[in-house]
Amino acid sequence: MLKASFEPYTLHFKETAITSRSHMDVKETFIVKVWDEEVPDVVGMGECAIFRGLSAEDTPGYEDILGEACRNPSALPPVSSIRFGFETAIADLRNGGTGRFVDNDFTRGETPLVINGLIWMGDKRTMKHRIRQKLDAGFRCVKLKIGGIDFNDELDLLGSVRDEFSVSDVELRVDANGAFTPANAMERLERLSELELHSIEQPIRQGQWEDMALLCSRSPVPIALDEELIGFRSDEEKKHLLDEIRPQYIILKPSLCGGFTEADKWIEIAGKRHIGWWATSALESNVGLGAIAQWVSRYSPDMPQGLGTGALYTNNFPSLLWLDGDKLYFQQI
């Protein structure tokens, strides 16, 4: 019989993390452990990575729901971050509690995942320095979070990269986190298109389906849905969303979009509609990041993934991942 427990854990950022929505110095998370009562020494570990202010299950009773899930881990609630944590912990348990629960070229340390270099918001000088650091480190796909400083300054930052590197040398992505409005989005997308961007994530806030659908049909920059995927539970709801908006891409954050099982369904449904995708972490610790990396490696993705957040914290857990330039490797066990 499966047993489970959880404990809260507070991650501390090395530097304040800034998006168009918030400023963060700490990140709350929960570590769940699962074991078979007949073999208590073998323990699987996962992360229930709630994202306050963004997760659909951000309610005062979250810990009560998590406690109930621990009392009955065979009947999980339809709560995205809890499913994400338990799916990881159970997979880990079934594979001996080593942290490695996928067997492929990636987890054997043979084939890496290519990731993008993430540029957090800051003032113009700070962001320019961060861009240079990523490029010097060997990243050939750079993603900027925009919407936090003057838009013209953001254009200048992107332009400085494009002046030095062609599209074939460096891929540029941006994430607006819903910072644009339906009124100004198209004009801004047209200006961004001059810089030959790969894509823009969530130009306007989620829930504005008609406006987003219009942008997706007319934008000169491919649009990726991100926060828009949060809170959907049925396949019919997923199909309805994608049929109504028709984005070019979707961004999969398993801790926010239903766990790994639901992320797999998103991929299947999007594929039938010729919608591309990639995976992105959502400020998880190394426990959750390692799980996402193993999950996405099963698809052998051919585009950079957004999995580079493990170095953000001063008190992260030990990791089985290591980075060489823009290549993410799994340590052999």
DSSP bridge pairs for 47: 31
| Structure tokens, 160 | 């400085």
Contacts (Cβ under 8 Å, ≥6 apart) of 32: 4, 5, 6, 45, 46, 47, 48, 66, 70, 85, 86, 89
| Structure tokens, 193 | 């298109």
Contacts (Cβ under 8 Å, ≥6 apart) of 24: 13, 16, 17, 18, 283
Residues designated as active site: 145, 253
| Structure tokens, 303 | 């585009």
Q: Is 135 exposed, middle or buried (0-12, 13-18, 19+ CB in 10 A)?
A: middle
Instruction: Give the C-alpha separation, 233 to 65, whole Å.
Output: 17
* Phi–psi pair at 293, nearest 5 degrees: -60, -45
Pick from 281, 283, 296, 255: nearest CA to 80 = 255
3-class DSSP state of 23: strand
3-class DSSP state of 107: coil
DSSP bridge pairs for 321: 330
Instruction: Give the C-alpha separation, 327 to 102, whole Å.
Output: 19
